Amino acid sequence: MGHLYLSRELTPGAMDAVRSLGLPLVVHDDPDRPPPRQRLLDDVRGASALITLLTERVDDELFDAAGPGLRVVANCAVGYDNVSVDAARARGIVVTNTPGVLDESTADVAFGLVLATSRRLVEADRFMRSGAEWVWGPQLFVGLDLSAGATLGIVGLGRIGMAVARRAAAFGMRILATGSRASSAEAHALGVQPADLSRLLAESDVVTLHCPLTPQTHHLIGAQQLAAMKPTAHLVNTARGPVVDEAALVHALERGVIAGAGLDVYEDEPRPHPGLLALDNVVLLPHIASAGRATRDAMGKLAVDNVRAVLAGDPPLTPVPG
Ligand code: DGY
């Protein structure tokens, strides 16, 4: 049996699970940065299993470097757009992801961004820290009331979108959603109304994205879609950066085409478009939506359980769909 390669040290609970496998282990030695490509290619040589993160491109070149003993790639994320799944399948390598365990944590941050952008919380924090003189005033940092009939548009109502819908329902928001689960009994019970994208964009006060990145969703939100939103509306993205045309978003935010945005992900991650950094009406986070301690432990443990199953000849717990 070859080694297990881990492209970054995980949280302590997840590392305990990794060690419990009892496999020879190679862990990239910089906990804060992904392995440089050549280092990655060198370190996977002879591996039986890889636990990768969304920062690694997992493709034919990597499979060639690992060699024929590689049996499983456990991507420690629900998204797996960094993995060439077809290339893995062609070689009989199992690919798994970590669905389910991060829904609530991700929904917390998505809804946090809904609140932060609509009520201008970060802008107000910056104002306080600037030392500006202030006195309470009826128009100081007024924003959008979520609980006064505001509409949340959820693009791609899956597990995470549903967790966001539960939060929005608790706030008394009207909820529109796209995606096959928008017509489910669970969605109906939360008051979710199924809508197509154009209706959702036209009627929502906040649009939040929860679809995977695929060729079909690349730049799903571009200049035309932003122009279809209300000028008072906000956009939240905790999905994947390239779902939004970031240059078009900057243009729209600069010109008041929409009112604001809350972003956890970027088109050219980890570099946000420079235009975003200059804008007050945008809240920027460094891709931390799943960064709850227990959630990160659970993601790592699920990745480990997938490795354990495949190496034991059992079916993986959460193979990527398709
Ligand atoms: C994912 O799981 O896809 C997130 O983006 C990182 O947790």
Q: Which domains does the chain have, with CATH numbers?
A: 3-100+293-311 (3.40.50.720), 103-284 (3.40.50.720)
DSSP state of 220: S
Percent of the chain with pLDDT over 90: 99
Ligand 1 geometric centre to CA of 12 (Å): 18
Peptide bond into 270 cis (omega under 30): yes
Ligand 1 geometric centre to CA of 254 (Å): 29
Residue 322: pLDDT above 90?
no
Cα–Cα distance for residue pair 212/210, rounded to 1 Å: 7
pLDDT bin (cut points 50, 70, 90) of residue 7 is: very high
Ligand 1 geometric centre to CA of 78 (Å): 5
Instruction: Give the closest residue (by CA) to ligand 1 atom 1.
Output: 77
For residues 85-95, average pLDDT: 98
Q: What is the pLDDT of residues 20-51, one digit of tens each?
A: 999 999 999 999 999 999 999 999 999 999 99
Q: Which residues are catalytic?
A: 240, 269, 287
Kind of pairing, strands 49-52 and 4-6?
A: parallel
- pLDDT in the model for residue 82: 98
Residue 79: pLDDT above 90?
yes
- pLDDT in the model for residue 148: 87
- pLDDT in the model for residue 214: 98
Ligand 1: which atom is nearest the Cα of residue 239? 5
**Across the chain, what does the average pLDDT equal?**
98
For residues 92-109, average pLDDT: 98
Instruction: Give the closest residue (by CA) to ligand 1 atom 3.
Output: 79
Residue length of the chain: 322
Q: What is the pLDDT of residues 232-282, one digit of tens each?
A: 999 999 999 999 999 999 999 999 999 999 999 999 999 999 999 999 999
Q: What is the pLDDT of residues 146-185, one digit of tens each?
A: 998 999 999 999 999 999 999 999 999 999 999 989 999 9
Cα–Cα distance for residue pair 212/66, rounded to 1 Å: 27
For residues 196-216, average pLDDT: 98
For residues 200-214, average pLDDT: 98
Q: Which of 318, 321, 322 is nearest to 76 (CA)?
A: 318
Cα–Cα distance for residue pair 146/114, rounded to 1 Å: 9
Please answer whether residues 76 and 55 qualify as being in contact, where contact means their C-beta atoms are separated by less than 8 angstroms. Answer: no
Whole-prediction pTM: 0.97
Instruction: Give the closest residue (by CA) to ligand 1 atom 2.
Output: 77
For residues 288-299, average pLDDT: 98
- pLDDT in the model for residue 27: 98
Q: Dihedral, CA atoms, 125, 127, 130, 131, nearest 10 degrees?
A: -100
Residue ranges lining ligand 1, Cβ < 6 Å: 54, 77-79, 102, 290
